[in-house]
Amino acid sequence: MTEVMDDAGTRLGTSGFVTLLVEEREDRLAVRLHRPAVKNAIDQTMVDELHAVCTHLERAPKILILSGTPASSVTGSKAVVASGADIAQLRERRRDDALAGINSGVFDRIAKLPMPVIAALDGYALGGGAELAYAADFRVGTPALRMGNPEANLGILAAAGATWRLKELVGEPMAKRILLAGKVLTGEECLAVGLITDIVEPGVLMDSAHALADAIAAQDPLAVRLTKTVFHAPREVHPVIDTMAQGMLFESQAKFDRMQAFLDRKKK
């Protein structure tokens, strides 16, 4: 396990994560959900550790790649992103727990991270696992992906982002089939409705996610951060926020350097 370090190089929060496996590189953080014995069910500890990851990335912005547990021919296990919230914990939660927005709070924080978030999806991504994926900027999946929100069958609703993010991603008719009728989408169906941008075989899923991260990392980091912020801004603040962000970028050294490099290449 690679521990997340803060800007001073010290360990962040705990001596090590117990529900996440973390690999940190110069320009990205790869985080794998890791509670394989319970199909990566999202419990309070995982939520707390995801908050710790967010704290780190808010201080030192990097691309985030989220994934689950791959299939293992050794153990015979199937791939899984997350089977949903931990039902044993969820069964005991009451009104005040719901009002605290335990999962919705961390998923919203992930969605608002400064740099893009990539979800690499193989196997089951249900309930909270699906809502975690909806919070990402990019979703890459496999044919074995199964994504949906069965919350209504458990007497609750998908309250961690699905009721509004899903409609924005796939449109109202399909969102209602998933939320109200329990439709679980296959990987191919996810691709067809635009819920994932690419479908690849499991063996190259992480390579594909890292290739996408490479493409993002090749852009100017400040331009990427400001573009993400402007993209998600409310309609009523455009075009003012666009021109203000552009004004900041027009003064950046990277703008001059990258444009000069472009002009120099054209001369050759």
Give pLDDT, residue 5.
52
Which of 3.10.20.600, 3.90.226.10, 3.30.70.890, 2.60.120.620 would CATH assign to domain 20-217? 3.90.226.10
Tens-place pLDDT, residues 3-22 = 555 544 544 444 489 999 99
**What does the pLDDT look like over 147-191, one tens digit per residue?**
999 999 989 899 999 999 999 999 999 999 999 999 999 999 999
Fill in the amino acid letter for 151: E
Burial (CB count within 10 angstroms: exposed 0-12, middle 13-18, buried 19+), residue 213:
buried
- Would you state the pLDDT for residue 163? 95
CA distances from 106 to 14, 100, 156 (A): 18, 11, 19
Residue 16 has a pLDDT of 86
Domain residues of the chain, as ranges? 20-217, 221-267
Confidence of residue 85 (pLDDT cuts 50, 70, 90): low
CA-based nearest residue to 147, from 117, 183, 119? 183
Q: Which two tokens stand for residue 268?
A: 């050759």
